[in-house]
Amino acid sequence: MLRYFVRRLAASVLVVFGVVTIVFFVVRAVPGDPVASILGEQALEVDKQALRQCMNLDEPLLEQYALFWGDVLNGTFGELCGERGATVADKLVANIPATLQLAAAGLGVAILIGIPLGVVAALKPYSWIDNTSAVLALLGISIPNFWLGPMLLILFSLTLQALPNPGSSVAGLSALILPAITLGTAMSAKLMRMMRSNMLEVLNKDYVRTAAAKGAGRSRVVLKHALRNAMIPIITILGLQFGALLTGAIIVEKIFARPGLGTLLLDGIQQRNYMIVQGCVIFISLSYVVVNLLTDLVYGSVDPRIRYD
């Protein structure tokens, strides 16, 4: 068990090293003078020189790379030289809660819709409810979130006047409902399909038949014996789908004009501020790596048959 954890951890450390290296060198391949793109062509030579020095641009590339590792390891992701004393990490920290809230709400929608529908569909395979949810799942997978969002906005904001427009300042939970549905729909469809096939497989297992044979009630068999085992592979899917939630959040934040990491990233791209772009991409990827590491470790301890090779 410990051996598996250690090997899995070592593999993740290598991946983190790769991610930071790839992002650093890709961003340095951006043509043009980064200082000019931040300050503008008309900026004073003194200011340009100061910024160049602050961004370590006068150092050789490998030196810059080493300095950047220092910034990553001390958690600042580099100083934002345009703004006095601010670091990229400050910007990230300011935007993480909004994205986290959105991702959690989207995950909630996905789980609340996907898992019950999948279980019900598996309990009555080929019934009308199974067929309906199969069609819904296909639709859910095929509808792009950047279309679903505007459609929900048109439907609710215009027709029903029920929820606040994206521009309005009505805060609170209601402003989260449409973004969460937009983000969670595709994932709920995948969860539903996965849950259905897991349940169908588990329901045919000997231990479920044994439980039924010894006289356990239907609901007890389903909830205690079948569901708990069918849920185990879902852990892995949740980990893998976390990545889809993060990139989906970039799009959903744009649709609903929400603050967050995606908005920070897109603004950074627009302003060609590569410190921000670099920080966002590394941070988002690292959180994906960490979540996948955690799900693998949880999976490994829940199901002792899993071994890394």
Partner 1 sequence: MRLGFTDILRRLSPLAKLGLGIVAVVFLVAIFAPWLAPYPLGHVDVTHQLEGPSMAHPLGTDENGADLLTQVIWGSRVAVMVGASVVGICSTVGITLGAISGYFGGWIDEVIMRITDMLMAFPGILLAILLIFITQEPSLLAVIGALSVTGWSSYARLVRGEVLSEREEDYVEAARSIGYKSPHIVFREVLPNVLAPVIVQATFGVAGAILAEASLSFLGLGPQDMPSWGALLDQGSTYFLLTPHLAIFPGVAIMITILGLNFLGDGLRDLLDPRGLTRHGN
Using CB under 8 A, list all residues that contact partner 1.
11, 14-16, 18-19, 22-23, 26-27, 29-32, 138-139, 141-144, 146-147, 150-151, 153-154, 157-158, 186, 190, 197, 242-244, 246-248, 250-251, 254-255, 265-266, 269, 274, 277, 281, 284-285, 288-289
Q: What is the DSSP letter of 42?
A: T
In whole angstroms, how close is the CB of 214 to partner 1 at the nearest point? 32
Pick 26 or 43: Cβ nearer partner 1: 26
What's the length of the chain? 309
* CA distance linking residue 120 with residue 110, whole number of Å: 15
From the CB of 60, what's the least distance to partner 1, in Å? 21
Rounded to a whole number of angstroms, the minimum distance from the CB of residue 194 to partner 1 is 10
Residue 125 vs 217, nearer CB to partner 1: 125
**302 with 232: CB under 8 angstroms?**
yes
Instruction: Pick the closer one to partner 1 by CB: 43 or 240.
Output: 240
Least separation in angstroms between CB 262 and partner 1? 9
Question: CB-wise, 142 or 169, nearer to partner 1?
Answer: 142
Kindly give the interhelix angle for 174-203 and 145-153, rounded to the nearest 10 degrees. Answer: 130
Task: Give least dist CB 132 to partner 1, A.
Answer: 15
- Complex with partner 1: residue 130 or 222, whichever CB lies closer: 130
Closest separation between CB of residue 218 and partner 1, Å? Answer: 28
Q: Which is nearer to partner 1, 221 or 237 (CB)?
A: 237
Q: Rank residues 141 and 212 by Cβ distance to partner 1 and give the closer one.
A: 141
Nearest residue (CB) to partner 1, 117 versus 153 = 153
For the bound state, the minimum distance from the C-beta of residue 85 to partner 1, rounded and expressed in Å, comes to 26
Query: For partner 1, which is the closer residue by CB, 75 or 150?
Result: 150
Shortest CB 31 distance to partner 1, Å: 7
Q: Which of 115, 260, 111, 281 is nearest to 176 (CA)?
A: 260
**SS in 3 state form for the chain?**
CHHHHHHHHHHHHHHHHHHHHHHHHHHHCCCCCHHHHHHCCCCCHHHHHHHHHHCCCCCCHHHHHHHHHHHHHCCCCCECCCCCCCEHHHHHHHHHHHHHHHHHHHHHHHHHHHHHHHHHHHHCCCCHHHHHHHHHHHHHHHCCHHHHHHHHHHHHHHHHCCCCCCCCCCCCCHHHHHHHHHHHHHHHHHHHHHHHHHHHHHHCCHHHHHHHHCCCCHHHHHHHHHHHHHHHHHHHHHHHHHHHHHHHHHHHHHHCCCCCHHHHHHHHHHCCCHHHHHHHHHHHHHHHHHHHHHHHHHHHHHCCCCCCC
Tell me the sheet residues that pair with 79: 87
**How far apart are CB 270 and partner 1 at their closest, in Å?**
8
